[in-house]
Amino acid sequence: MSLVHPVVHRRRRSSRKWRLVALVAALSLVAFACGDGGEDTSAEEVTAAQAQAAAAQSDAAAAQSEAVSAQAEAEAAADALAQAQADLEAAQAAAAAAMEGDEVSQSALADAQAALEEAEQRATESAEASQEALAAAESALTEAEQMLDEAMMEQEAAMGPVRVRAAVTGDEASLNPYTYISGFPGWNLLMLQYDSLMQLDADGIPQPWLASSISVNEDLTEYSVTLVEGVTWHDGEPLTADDVAFSVNYYINNVEASRFARDLRGVEDLVVTDDHNATFVLAGPNAGFELGALADVPIIPRHIWEGVELPSEHDFGDTNIGTGPYKLVKYVEGQSYRFQANPDYFRGAPAVDELVVIVFADDAGAQAAIRAYAVDVIFERIPPEQIDLLDAEDSLDVILGPEFTTQMINYDASKRPFDDVAVRQAINLAMNRQDIVDTVFLGAATIGSPGWIHPGHPSYNADIGTVYDPAAANALLDAGGYLDSDGDGVREYDGQPMSFEIITNASDSLRLRIAELTVEMLAAIGIETSVAAVETATWEQAVWPGFDVNNGRNYDIAMWGWSAPVQADPLRLPQLVASVPAGGFLNLTGYVNAEMDTLSAVLGTEPDPAERNGILGRMQEIIAEDLPFVLLLYPDGAYVYDSTVYSDWEFIAGQGIVSKLSLLPPSARP
């Protein structure tokens, strides 16, 4: 702080116009002082301990090299011994030969005897030497091992527990099953505290988790689970099948948290057989129950939640607990979450001891922070233009993987001219997907299949091609009678120009750029469009009024995208493409197709997985032909992290890196 004084002093003497400059300088100095103040001591301690560890390590290395040389000596001695023995044999042979000779050659005998003695002596010597060397080598090795162990322990102590600071770009409220806000990363963070009966593995397939085994009856109506024994809640109480039954009933009876109530829709009864066994009895067959419910619903403790009336407004204080690998120890509204590892976690203690999740106001803030090494990972996808930039930073790495989010074009297929499949097909043919992937996403996206399902998904129908052919699109429109009769470059339908507004949300800059390219691509087939970039709530209200498809829609063309869960489970496809009365509650385009309705009705109840895949294959064909919407691309997931802090991130296909798997040691992952 002494540095500030000369500046203040100078400020007094200097002319008035320099006061501002001096003030800024003083502030910078203060900043300098405080910027340095905070972390120095601990940093120094760590550095010192690291140096010590390094010294111990080099000591150990020296001991090891000593041992190696001792061993070499021992080997040399052994060689000498062998040589001596060979000499001895030769001498003995010579002696025997000498003895046999009639003309006794005394001198030869004497020679032989001397040689024998010499050889014997040499052999003894080298045997001794070799033994000594061996002993020395052994002790050196033990010493080296000891030193290495010590060094490792010291280093571990110096590094302290592993602490990861993660950035998110939105507050997730108090993060209990009824308050978390976003599906991603809110639910993902919630599931650090809680466990579900199953857990997705790296391929996105549900694996046994809290349930050690799951068995299903033949017609997919009964799912029996056996719980892992010895699992405890964070307060030490044991987890039992009773908690599972309580959780299920609680979610069903408190619809506030739509997601879990919806997951469990169709559960008629939950039969608890004993402390560790229970059976879900479903109203009808449901092939998607494992992915949709068992791997999604967090199990909550009965002894805490019993009697909680309005869970979203209940103050749980420090009883917001689960069985998960982390316990949320502190939440500062709008600022941060602090998670501490649960050392007694049933799959093994987490590899990261403390996780601090910091809430940023926007992406740019989070990216600046990771460049300044003020956070260690960003729990949000980074935009394509940042991938190379951040990867180029010294200790930052970027992990890439498939994501099941989508960018697509929606249109109101219930009204002219989009009710004509030829118009929809023409739009599909006019879209140069590769161009969008290259120019907007700089390659960090996968070209969309017109049949909806991601090529990286097991249910993808590989027969469906993605064609870009504006000439064919023009031909289709010509054949359909959509002609440009007045020669203004815009086709007409029913006497009006084919001129539409593409509505999109201004907050998604990538989507906005796709919309702009779409305008050009549609212009090439004589459809005139303009982009209306509006605020998110306004856009949602136009495309999905009141979030209820029964309210219809107020747009011609809209850019749209679904979050990953909609695509991760192909059994949810009927929700998108079945007619509204047939359960298409995500059918935002007003699309109706009778065969699709029939297939939708049987998809979730078909017990045979191969048959189910067949149905999905056919549905994809119909979508690609009929185009209820035009799927453009699937953005790839890209996450940036500081590899010097923690690098064991696990990318779950379609989900990204924000999960308990990333924070558990590899041995504890499924």
Partner 1 sequence: MRRRIDVRRLTQYGVVVVVAVTLNFLLPRLMPGNPLVLIAGVDVGLLSPEDRAEIVARVGLDAPLWKQYLRYWGDIVTGDFGYSFRAKRPIVDMIWSRLPWTLLITGLSLIVSAVVGVILGAISAWRRRTKTDLGMLTGMISIESLPSFWLGMVLISIFAVQWGLLPSFGAVTQASDLVGWAHAWDIISHAILPVITLSILATPGVYMTMRYSMLETLGEDYIRTARAKGAGERRVLFGHVARNTIAPVVTVLAIRLGFAFGGTVIVETVFTYPGLGRLVFEAVSGRDYPVMQAAFLVFTAAVLAANLVADLLYPLIDPRTRTS
309-368 residues near partner 1, rule: CB under 8 A: 312-313, 330, 332-336, 338, 354, 356, 358-362, 364-365, 368
**The binder of partner 1 chosen from 3, 8, 24, 271 (CB under 8 A):** 24
Question: Does 392 interact with partner 1 (rule: CB under 8 A)?
Answer: no
- Walk across the sheet containing 528-534 and list its strands: 445-447, 630-635, 407-411, 557-560, 499-505, 528-534
Subset of 558-597 contacting partner 1 (CB under 8 A): 563, 575, 585-586
Question: Does 283 interact with partner 1 (rule: CB under 8 A)?
Answer: no
Give residue 316's identity as a one-letter amino acid code. F
**The binder of partner 1 chosen from 19, 303, 415, 416 (CB under 8 A):** 19
Q: Are strands 326-332 and 277-282 parallel, antiparallel or unpaired?
A: unpaired
Q: 29 or 61: whose CB is closer to partner 1?
A: 29
Q: 543 or 627: whose CB is closer to partner 1?
A: 543
Question: Does 178 interact with partner 1 (rule: CB under 8 A)?
Answer: yes
- Which pairs with CB-CB distance under 8 Å and at least 24 residues apart come from 174-177? 174/316, 174/320, 174/331, 175/320, 175/328, 175/331, 175/337, 176/311, 176/316, 176/320, 177/251, 177/257, 177/260, 177/298, 177/300, 177/311
At residue 606's C-alpha, the angle toward residues 602 and 608, to 5°, is 150
635 bridge partner residues: 445
**The binder of partner 1 chosen from 343, 443, 546, 665 (CB under 8 A):** 546
Stretch that binds partner 1, among 55-63, 213-221, 483-491, 542-550 (CB under 8 A): 542-550
Q: How far is the CB of 372 from partner 1 (least distance, A)?
A: 5
Return the H-helix or E-strand segment holding 117: helix 106-159
Interatomic CA distance for residues 439 and 449, integer angstroms? 19
User: How is residue 50 written in tokens?
Assistant: 């690291």
Q: Are strands 528-534 and 499-505 parallel, antiparallel or unpaired?
A: parallel
Interatomic CA distance for residues 571 and 453, integer angstroms? 11
Q: How far is the CB of 547 from partner 1 (least distance, A)?
A: 4
Q: How far is the CB of 336 from partner 1 (least distance, A)?
A: 4
SS3 assignment, position 314:
coil
Q: How far is the CB of 463 from partner 1 (least distance, A)?
A: 31
Q: How far is the CB of 415 from partner 1 (least distance, A)?
A: 21
Question: Does 372 interact with partner 1 (rule: CB under 8 A)?
Answer: yes
Pick from 421, 555, 411, 516: which is nearest to 477 by CA?
Answer: 421
DSSP 238: B
Which residue intervals of 194-287 are DSSP H helices?
A: 241-253, 258-263
Q: How far is the CB of 53 from partner 1 (least distance, A)?
A: 25
Q: 311 or 417: whose CB is closer to partner 1?
A: 311
**The binder of partner 1 chosen from 124, 536, 598, 647 (CB under 8 A):** 536
**The binder of partner 1 chosen from 64, 69, 541, 605 (CB under 8 A):** 541
Interatomic CA distance for residues 580 and 94, integer angstroms? 108
Q: 364 or 471: whose CB is closer to partner 1?
A: 364
Question: Does 18 interact with partner 1 (rule: CB under 8 A)?
Answer: no
Return the H-helix or E-strand segment holding 354: strand 354-359
SS3 assignment, position 25:
helix
Q: How far is the CB of 222 from partner 1 (least distance, A)?
A: 24
Q: 172 or 636: whose CB is closer to partner 1?
A: 172
Q: 11 or 122: whose CB is closer to partner 1?
A: 11
Subset of 241-280 contacting partner 1 (CB under 8 A): 255-259, 261-262
395, 435 contact by CB (below 8 A): no
User: What number of H helices and E strands is found in the chain?
Assistant: 21, 21
Q: 28 or 121: whose CB is closer to partner 1?
A: 28
DSSP 667: G
Q: Which residue has the tokens 């702009």?
A: 516
Phi-psi region of 487 (alpha: psi -120 to 50; beta: other; left: phi over 0): left
- Please say whether the dihedral angle defined by the alpha carbons of residues 349, 350, 355 and 361, taken in this order, is positive or negative: negative
Q: How far is the CB of 646 from partner 1 (least distance, A)?
A: 16
Stretch that binds partner 1, among 22-30, 69-77, 245-253, 301-309 (CB under 8 A): 22-30
Size of the site for partner 1 (CB under 8 A): 74
561, 634 contact by CB (below 8 A): no
Question: Does 165 interact with partner 1 (rule: CB under 8 A)?
Answer: yes
Interatomic CA distance for residues 45 and 51, integer angstroms? 10
Q: 115 or 506: whose CB is closer to partner 1?
A: 506
Q: How far is the CB of 176 from partner 1 (least distance, A)?
A: 9
Q: How far from each other are the two terminal CA atoms of the chain, in whole angstroms?
A: 54
Question: Does 182 interact with partner 1 (rule: CB under 8 A)?
Answer: yes
Q: 34 or 601: whose CB is closer to partner 1?
A: 34
Subset of 396-415 contacting partner 1 (CB under 8 A): none
Interatomic CA distance for residues 164 and 221, integer angstroms? 43
Subset of 464-493 contacting partner 1 (CB under 8 A): none
If one counts every other C-beta atom within 10 angstroms of the C-beta of residue 156, the result is 12
7, 26 contact by CB (below 8 A): yes
Question: Does 535 interact with partner 1 (rule: CB under 8 A)?
Answer: yes
Q: How far is the CB of 207 from partner 1 (least distance, A)?
A: 24
Subset of 37-76 contacting partner 1 (CB under 8 A): 37-38
Q: 20 or 594: whose CB is closer to partner 1?
A: 20
**The binder of partner 1 chosen from 173, 216, 281, 517 (CB under 8 A):** 173
Q: 34 or 86: whose CB is closer to partner 1?
A: 34
Q: 75 or 540: whose CB is closer to partner 1?
A: 540
Q: 173 or 272: whose CB is closer to partner 1?
A: 173
Stretch that binds partner 1, among 60-68, 148-156, 168-176, 659-667 (CB under 8 A): 168-176
SS3 assignment, position 630:
strand
Q: 367 or 474: whose CB is closer to partner 1?
A: 367
Interatomic CA distance for residues 89 and 67, integer angstroms? 33
Stretch that binds partner 1, among 102-110, 229-237, 459-467, 548-556 (CB under 8 A): 548-556
The radius of gyration computed from the CA coordinates of the chain, to the nearest angstrom, equals: 36
Interatomic CA distance for residues 126 and 524, integer angstroms? 93
Q: How far is the CB of 27 from partner 1 (least distance, A)?
A: 6
**The binder of partner 1 chosen from 93, 110, 135, 181 (CB under 8 A):** 181
294, 197 contact by CB (below 8 A): yes
Stretch that binds partner 1, among 14-22, 72-80, 83-91, 458-466 (CB under 8 A): 14-22
Q: How far is the CB of 78 from partner 1 (least distance, A)?
A: 59
Question: Does 21 interact with partner 1 (rule: CB under 8 A)?
Answer: no
Q: 35 or 443: whose CB is closer to partner 1?
A: 35
Interatomic CA distance for residues 101 and 99, integer angstroms? 5
Q: 91 or 564: whose CB is closer to partner 1?
A: 564
